[in-house]
């Protein structure tokens, strides 16, 4: 792949961040790997300034971490950090569904799209394509948040760095047999939303994240 042509005619700050996230999702970069600003700039044939801005954005999202004299690397995490992340994300998404149903009468929710995400997840599991399974998983949840039609809520959700945590779920997934159960959970969430049953959705999403948490060892590290 020619990285120079990949970023041609695009806004560099966002696209460098996207390039790094795609590298993580492909498994080219792993938790603990160092990100060297000058090296990345050379690889992409762009200025270090654009790379520096993208790195700052990903640090703010919790994807990267930096320490004095140690540089910047892809973040590692503890189970406690993951629990905290899931708690916050659960509350945001439950609130998004509540607002979608009560405030907007679901007019910003695309139910056909949500169903297609679940169907695509099932197809990906059948093909053992965990990367695209998780991408459809994230698309499903993003559509739910967007259905609340709230810029502030969407910003709060995006600030969690969800795509990185989705990657982590793939990277440390040592229980592939549970992926079918995750598809079933999403189908239940879809059915709850289609029925405008806020309480059923809240129960489903909390159960979904709790089950996903069992995929991780007590201390996640590389």
Domains 3-74 and 79-213 share a fold: no
Model confidence pLDDT, tens digit, residues 53-95: 999 988 887 789 898 888 999 887 777 777 788 888 889 999 9
* Mean pLDDT (whole number) for 105-110: 90
Domain 3-74 in CATH 2.40.50.140? The answer is no
User: Measured in whole angstroms, how far is the alpha carbon of residue 132 from the centre of its chain?
Assistant: 12
| CA pair distance 133, 114, nearest whole angstrom | 14
Question: For 69, phi and psi rounded to 5 degrees?
Answer: 70, 0
**3-state helix/strand/coil string of 127-160:** CCCHHHHHHHHHHHHHHHHHCCCCHHHHHHHHCC
Burial pattern 62-74, b for ≥16 Cβ within 10 A else e, equals bbbbeeeeeebbb
pLDDT band at 128, cuts 50/70/90?
Answer: confident
Judged against a pLDDT cut of 80, whether residue 212 lies above it is answered with no
Pairing of strands 34-35, 71-74: antiparallel
The pTM of the full predicted model, rounded to 2 decimals, is 0.70
CA distances from 102 to 16, 88, 198 (A): 38, 21, 9
Helix (H, G, I), strand (E, B) or coil at 203: helix
Model confidence pLDDT, tens digit, residues 186-198: 999 999 999 999 9
pLDDT at 5: 46
Judged against a pLDDT cut of 70, whether residue 220 lies above it is answered with no
pLDDT at 85: 80
Closest to 39 (Cα-Cα) out of 55, 63, 61, 15: 55
* Mean pLDDT (whole number) for 144-152: 95
Model confidence pLDDT, tens digit, residues 19-44: 998 887 777 888 889 999 999 999 99
pLDDT band at 163, cuts 50/70/90?
Answer: low
| CA pair distance 56, 175, nearest whole angstrom | 33
Structure tokens at 97: 């569904």
* Mean pLDDT (whole number) for 118-143: 89
Burial pattern 148-163, b for ≥16 Cβ within 10 A else e, equals bbbeebbebbeebbbb
Helix (H, G, I), strand (E, B) or coil at 88: helix
End-to-end CA distance of the chain: 27
Around 147, how many Cα atoms within 13 Å sit in the side-chain half-sphere? 30
Domain 79-213 in CATH 1.20.120.530? The answer is yes
pLDDT at 143: 95
Give me the residue spans of the domains in the chain.
Answer: 3-74, 79-213
CA distances from 135 to 49, 53, 129, 196 (A): 29, 25, 10, 25
């Amino acid at each position: 792949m020619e990285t120079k042509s990949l970023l041609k005619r695009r806004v560099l700050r966002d696209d460098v961040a996207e390039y790094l996230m795609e590298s993580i999702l492909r498994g080219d970069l792993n938790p603990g790997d160092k990100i060297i600003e000058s090296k990345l700039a050379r690889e992409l044939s762009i200025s270090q300034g654009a790379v520096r801005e993208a790195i700052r954005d990903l640090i703010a999202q919790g994807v990267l971490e930096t320490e004095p004299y140690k540089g910047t690397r892809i973040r590692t995490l503890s189970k406690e950090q993951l629990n905290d992340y899931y708690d916050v994300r659960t509350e945001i998404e439950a609130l998004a569904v509540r607002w979608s149903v009560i405030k907007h009468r679901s007019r910003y929710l695309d139910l056909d799209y949500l169903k297609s995400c679940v169907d695509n997840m099932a197809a990906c599991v059948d093909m053992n394509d965990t990367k695209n399974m998780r991408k459809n998983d994230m698309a499903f949840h993003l559509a739910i948040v967007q259905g609340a039609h709230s810029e502030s809520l969407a910003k709060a959700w995006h600030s969690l760095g969800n795509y990185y945590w989705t990657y982590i779920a793939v990277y440390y997934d040592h229980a592939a047999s549970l992926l079918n159960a995750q598809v079933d959970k999403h189908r239940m969430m879809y059915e709850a939303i289609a029925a405008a049953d806020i309480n059923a959705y809240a129960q489903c999403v909390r159960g979904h994240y709790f089950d996903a948490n069992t995929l991780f060892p007590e201390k996640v590290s590389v």
